[in-house]
Structure 1
Amino acid sequence: MASIRKEVQLSSTADDAWKVIGDFATGPSRMAPGFVVDTRADGDQRTVTFADGTVAQERLIAVDHDARRIVYALVGPEHDNASMQVVDDGHGCRLIWIHDVLPDGVAARIEAAMTQGLAVIRRTL
């Protein structure tokens, strides 16, 4: 299983960043506008539409408000379990984003998308 970890410094406070990132229903559209063009949630499932036309069906696994950590999984034939965590570092905050994927061959595509998404998230938050 490939594990992809990305980390980025944000200028937002940890609490402000978590208000967006921890919101399963609308977080993707709010944290990465333009990269994500639509997010629609129904209970613990959401549909995320990306600017390149990719549509992802995702299921909420866990939200830990105290740790500022959200975990979600792709619903589909590939295994893709992801977490995002906001960590207060005294200079804004850090966002740690991890995807664990199978098969290993999808890792390059996921990593490229994460890099693009993080550039937008960094500008937004």
Structure 2
Amino acid sequence: MASISREIVIRSAAEDVWKVISDFATGPTRMAPGFVVDTRLDGDDRIVTFADGTVVRERLIGIDHDARRIVYSVVGGSVTPEHDNAAMQVIDEGDHCRLTWIRDVLPDTLAAPMAAAMTHGLTVTQNAL
């Protein structure tokens, strides 16, 4: 199983960044506008549409507000991995925060395109937040 880890520093308060990241319904479009073009709820899942036309169905696994950590999994859409589990965590560092995004995915062949998408998405997020 491939494991991908990325992190960025955001020059905003951790609480402000967490308000966006923890919003399962609209967080992706708010954190990465233009990279993510639509997010909508469908039952317990969210449907996320990316600028390149990729659409994924994600299921919320859990939110820990004290740790500022959200965990979700891709369960369908135009990309259907055998396994996908992702976690994002916002870490307070005083006058700024750190956003860590870790994803475990099968098959391993999805690692390179997902890593590239995560890197691009985090660059957009860093500028947006």
Alignment of 1:1-125 (within 5 A): 1-76=1-76, 77-78=80-81, 79-125=83-129
Percent identity between the aligned chains?
A: 68
Partner amino acid, structure 2, of 1:107:
A
Amino acid of the structure 1 residue aligned with 2:123: A
Query: 1:80 Cα shift?
Result: 1.1
RMSD: 0.8
Give per-residue Cα distances to partners, 1:36-73, cap 9 Å, x unaligned: 00000134200000000000000000000000000000
Q: How many residues align?
A: 125
Normalising by the residue count of structure 2, what TM-score does the alignment of the two structures yield?
A: 0.94
Name the amino acid aligned to 2:93: D
Report how far residue 91 of structure 1 moved.
3.2
Q: Secondary structure at the match of 1:53?
A: coil
Instruction: Give the whole-Å Cα distance in 1 for the aligned partners of 2:125 and 2:75.
Output: 23
In 1: Cα distance, 2:84 partner to 2:120 partner: 18
Between 54-63 and 76-85, report the one with greater CA deviation.
Answer: 76-85
Tell me the SS of whatever aligns to 1:12.
Answer: coil
Q: Which amino acid is 1:86 matched to?
A: V
Unaligned segments of structure 2, at least 5 residues: none
Partner secondary structure for residue 105 of structure 1 = helix
Which portions of structure 1, spanning 4 or more consecutive aligned residues, are displaced by more than 2 angstroms? none
